[in-house]
Structure 1
């Protein structure tokens, strides 16, 4: 796992542009703390920061193949061993044991079609020395990020916006359209918030030549008739999970799992524990997050009926994991240095409040023990686990379903945003347009009607829109501390198979995630199997709410408030004059993060 960046310009000689190219590369140091490299040519500068996972000595980058092509690569290709054997049969000879070289050789063999052969999470750029062409490629589900910024004579690219913004050709401008995307909680494909910048879409290839820039999709969800009955489907799901997780356990550095005590992460941990034991590699290591006093004083709410820790410990005892609880308090969550690090990792104030901060601190603690972690992320999107899959109001609504259910930590709460600005932005209209665009993409199955047709739409919205919000959060928080997080449930084979299973089959036992529960019933304790879905935890400490309020009061005393164009200052002061209420946390957190972003990133608003 790594950070990549680069600059292509057909109108100037970049051989001497090492200072700027190095500055771009340096912004990716958190993603690649182990090594760095920079390669330049007359019209290309390619940078790389490395987090060494496989072939620690041989996988240095940018990697060059016989002066034909140069690769800067981030991610893991899980079928690289099979591909290596296939490429050797075609006459290719390898100098290293890395998957990086397999990707480079795959390009030399298959050209632009190389991505069709890859199974994994990746974002990479290949500069073809002969043709002077750049290829930007992102994995099918968008697990790894990749951004680009077209210029008059080429392009800038990077794993994160900060790499691109380090080049003086860019401006840190956010216009009304950028603000709409920032606030709408819909994740429009290719939209990158900053004016002039774009995100490579999942499953997309962007090619840059002297003639300009072209884009094509090499993969997208498709619909087909599901032929298996319930027992065969359950068996197929289990077989896929066994294969996926076994592949994703390959690592030359310490590895662990993220464990919440829910069905998803418990399934990953249990399968990993069995596989490691069978390979004679000892116990699986697992980590979870908790808050001081959370379990003892837990209060059920609209989305969380149980605390995680009792279920975590049930699973640990069941599989014999070597487990660590990472316990945080409100002082940890409010640490100014930590909050600044979280904003710096995300590049945007799109966070989920304390849930971002605690995830960063969890990953930072894990990084002291492991370099790779397996996560249960995305199982809810694949198998239908969220509330909104089962809420008639959300299912029958005329918008993204997550916008119609219990508020996601204030994700749709605009109480403190300026009223005139909100009218100008017309967020309901923006969401409606984005929703219509997403619906138009849904691959229809001929003859499918009623609930089955609608649930295919709901699944598609989650697998192409909502999942991107969480995958981006996971990537940024983990890579900010040099931790690689793998996501087994995003394997495209599993995603495609379950997407096409009928909704009646996905809920055959009357519960959420029926297929996953049945597939893992032999390896999980009954308490975990029967547990109702509970999202990632958020602190319930009243002291945290008061600390947020105190910070907001301090902010409003500032006579030079960068966020004054966005915030209704009078409404904010009125909220702080009222008695503390848990509903205040989200809008106050939003106000604080918007202001910090405008200050720290020196954002120019074009409104």
Structure 2
């Protein structure tokens, strides 16, 4: 696991390359290196997971193929045997060391042979100098870039703050961004909150050279198998549950392989608890981690996580953070994410992975992606259960939002409201995509959740906040065998009356305490409705950040309406007002950290978090 960066045909100084590297050194503290040639450069910050002594990047094959790589290749041993049999010499046992030879054998189609999570950059000098970039099928490892079509120059990096450290990459606000963000909690798709800066989509292969410019190819992901019918097949609940459990057991235990200590995150909910239980079957004295908050707060799950730990025999770590420290943590959380994410769990995630690293662990398993694949969200269940002929799309789309559509209209200034209406609100575009999908309701919802929301909302968040503490996260639910089987299952095996993920609950039966299996579903998040209250640290901090002067400076949100939100939250606290205030606060913090402000030029790189050195 690493951080990568580089350019093609841009004007980049050695100092810039060092600055970019420093901005994401937290994701690769073990070594830093660069390869530089006429009109190109590739850089690497390494977090050593496999073969810490070997695996030195950039990888090279002769004088003409240079590779840098972020991620994990789980089938590297099989690939190594195959490549050695074809005459290649591979120097060590690091997973990424197979990549140059694999590329030499198969060219851009080398990704067809990879099982893992990755963002890869290849510089091929065999003919016309060509840069190739590739992302994994789910987008687990982000890669951000700016392509200047006029100058035909490319800059790229694993994190947005690092990309902005290039002199020619400007931190300019993308004007539709606020509406996109409040409509979905973070921008979906390839556009970021910065004008002119994109993120590569999942399953993308990019070729850049002087003759052809930049060309993005979306690879076809292997189709989901068609479910069979009859007893003992994927439509039989017991057989499907057994198959899900077998696949998850195999993938979870395969993902335990590492040359550094591996732990598990156990929230106390179904998904992470099941991953922890399956990992504990194979791991010797597995360590598990849960996060909670000092004081008494709604939704505390620590006792569920403790029960899971006792049942599985893990060495459990209860991490506890003080809400009074949240104002000090939030700027760093926003900085590491690079763009706004309105889920309050970002703060807890940041603190949790710092504790995991402090305890001596470099790899952690999580239960992310189960809700998307198995229909776990209430909004999915409500949409599926809406009677035929009735509108299921409007409610589903509004449930995605940080701020409901009606309240967004009240918050925007007249100018911004008119701009959004003329362009078309983000919510209307999503509704149109779902209406035009042409597939069944469950298939359309899963395709949207997995293809659009999961990479942007979950995977980038998990990547950036875990790597802020130099921790690699591995996700068994994202493994191809699990996701393909999950997507083959009919809606009736996922959505049961009153609950989602029915087949997953069946798969977990006998592995988890009844208290976890029988409890109502609860989002893994921060209890901000209770925490944003007069007299609390978060309430005062939000008041300061969302001052009328700051809001007037941006001209997007009406200060008077935000004041009324604070009054509502103080007198009649609700999830609606609390999340709206939280979301606006995060957006304002992002504006202040990254974009033009008094005393800073628009093209000046943002400061690193903390004391001005790399985290």
Query: How does the TM-score come out when normalised to structure 1?
Result: 0.88
Judge conservation of contact 2:383–2:393 (CA < 8 Å) in 1: no
Judge conservation of contact 2:384–2:442 (CA < 8 Å) in 1: no
Q: Could you say which residue in structure 1 is the equivalent of 2:397?
A: 403
Indicate yes or no: 2:427 matched with 1:425. Answer: no
Counterparts of 1:233-312 in structure 2 under 5 Å?
233-276=240-283, 282-294=284-296, 298=298, 307-312=300-305
Q: CA deviation at 1:401?
A: 5.8
Distance change (3 Å), C-alpha of 1:179 and 1:550: closer
DSSP 3-state at the match of 1:391: helix
Q: Could you say which residue in structure 1 is the equivalent of 2:189?
A: 189
CA distance, structure 1, for counterparts of residue 313 and residue 290 of structure 2: 15
Distance change (3 Å), C-alpha of 1:49 and 1:411: farther
Q: Could you say which residue in structure 1 is the equivalent of 2:500?
A: 512
DSSP 3-state at the match of 1:30: helix
CA distance, structure 2, for counterparts of residue 597 and residue 319 of structure 1: 41
Q: Could you say which residue in structure 1 is the equivalent of 2:26?
A: 30
Q: Deviations over 1:4-30 (max 9, x none)?
A: 1101008x7x6xx32222222222112
DSSP 3-state at the match of 2:96: helix
Q: CA deviation at 1:480?
A: 1.2
Q: Could you say which residue in structure 2 is the equivalent of 1:139?
A: 136
CA distance, structure 1, for counterparts of residue 398 and residue 436 of structure 2: 20
1:342 to 297, 319, 333: 333
Distance change (3 Å), C-alpha of 1:81 and 1:531: farther
CA distance, structure 1, for counterparts of residue 306 and residue 243 of structure 2: 29
Q: Could you say which residue in structure 2 is the equivalent of 1:94?
A: 90
Q: CA deviation at 1:232?
A: 3.4
CA distance, structure 1, for counterparts of residue 187 and residue 395 of structure 2: 14
Distance change (3 Å), C-alpha of 1:521 and 1:481: same
DSSP 3-state at the match of 1:256: strand
Counterparts of 1:353-392 in structure 2 under 5 Å?
353=344, 355-369=345-359, 370-392=361-383
Mean CA deviation greater in 325-334 or 406-415? 406-415
Q: Could you say which residue in structure 2 is the equivalent of 1:301?
A: none
Distance change (3 Å), C-alpha of 1:24 and 1:266: same
Q: Could you say which residue in structure 1 is the equivalent of 2:221?
A: 220
Q: CA deviation at 1:55?
A: 0.9
DSSP 3-state at the match of 1:433: helix
CA distance, structure 1, for counterparts of residue 548 and residue 242 of structure 2: 61
Mean CA deviation greater in 560-569 or 379-388? 560-569
Distance change (3 Å), C-alpha of 1:557 and 1:504: closer
Distance change (3 Å), C-alpha of 1:398 and 1:563: farther
Q: Could you say which residue in structure 1 is the equivalent of 2:592?
A: 599
DSSP 3-state at the match of 1:524: coil
Aligned residues: 575
Judge conservation of contact 1:416–1:591 (CA < 8 Å) in 2: no
CA distance, structure 2, for counterparts of residue 383 and residue 556 of structure 1: 38
Indicate yes or no: 2:445 matched with 1:458. Answer: yes
Q: CA deviation at 1:236?
A: 2.4
Judge conservation of contact 1:3–1:32 (CA < 8 Å) in 2: yes
State the Cα RMSD in Å: 2.7
CA distance, structure 2, for counterparts of residue 377 and residue 311 of structure 1: 18
Judge conservation of contact 2:342–2:402 (CA < 8 Å) in 1: no
Q: Could you say which residue in structure 2 is the equivalent of 1:44?
A: 40
Judge conservation of contact 1:273–1:284 (CA < 8 Å) in 2: yes
Judge conservation of contact 2:548–2:559 (CA < 8 Å) in 1: no
Distance change (3 Å), C-alpha of 1:359 and 1:80: same
Q: Deviations over 1:522-543 (max 9, x none)?
A: 3222222223321113236845
Q: Could you say which residue in structure 1 is the equivalent of 2:15?
A: 19
Q: Could you say which residue in structure 2 is the equivalent of 1:155?
A: 154
Distance change (3 Å), C-alpha of 1:22 and 1:318: same
CA distance, structure 1, for counterparts of residue 293 and residue 383 of structure 2: 33
Q: Could you say which residue in structure 1 is the equivalent of 2:517?
A: 529
Q: CA deviation at 1:389?
A: 2.0
Q: CA deviation at 1:78?
A: 1.0
CA distance, structure 2, for counterparts of residue 541 and residue 509 of structure 1: 29
Query: How does the TM-score come out when normalised to structure 2?
Result: 0.87
Q: CA deviation at 1:509?
A: 8.2
2:54 to 34, 55, 58: 58
Distance change (3 Å), C-alpha of 1:403 and 1:371: same
Q: CA deviation at 1:576?
A: 3.9
Judge conservation of contact 2:160–2:338 (CA < 8 Å) in 1: yes
Q: Could you say which residue in structure 1 is the equivalent of 2:558?
A: 568
Mean CA deviation greater in 40-49 or 343-352? 343-352
DSSP 3-state at the match of 1:143: coil
Judge conservation of contact 1:260–1:266 (CA < 8 Å) in 2: yes
DSSP 3-state at the match of 2:26: coil
Judge conservation of contact 1:416–1:568 (CA < 8 Å) in 2: yes
CA distance, structure 2, for counterparts of residue 334 and residue 188 of structure 1: 27
CA distance, structure 2, for counterparts of residue 69 and residue 413 of structure 1: 54
CA distance, structure 2, for counterparts of residue 378 and residue 154 of structure 1: 35
Q: Could you say which residue in structure 2 is the equivalent of 1:587?
A: 580
CA distance, structure 2, for counterparts of residue 401 and residue 77 of structure 1: 40
DSSP 3-state at the match of 1:157: strand
Structure 2: which 5+ runs fail to align?
603-615
Judge conservation of contact 1:413–1:586 (CA < 8 Å) in 2: no
Judge conservation of contact 2:131–2:208 (CA < 8 Å) in 1: yes
Indicate yes or no: 2:469 matched with 1:475. Answer: no
CA distance, structure 1, for counterparts of residue 68 and residue 434 of structure 2: 32
Mean CA deviation greater in 188-197 or 487-496? 188-197
Distance change (3 Å), C-alpha of 1:161 and 1:553: closer
CA distance, structure 2, for counterparts of residue 4 and residue 528 of structure 1: 40
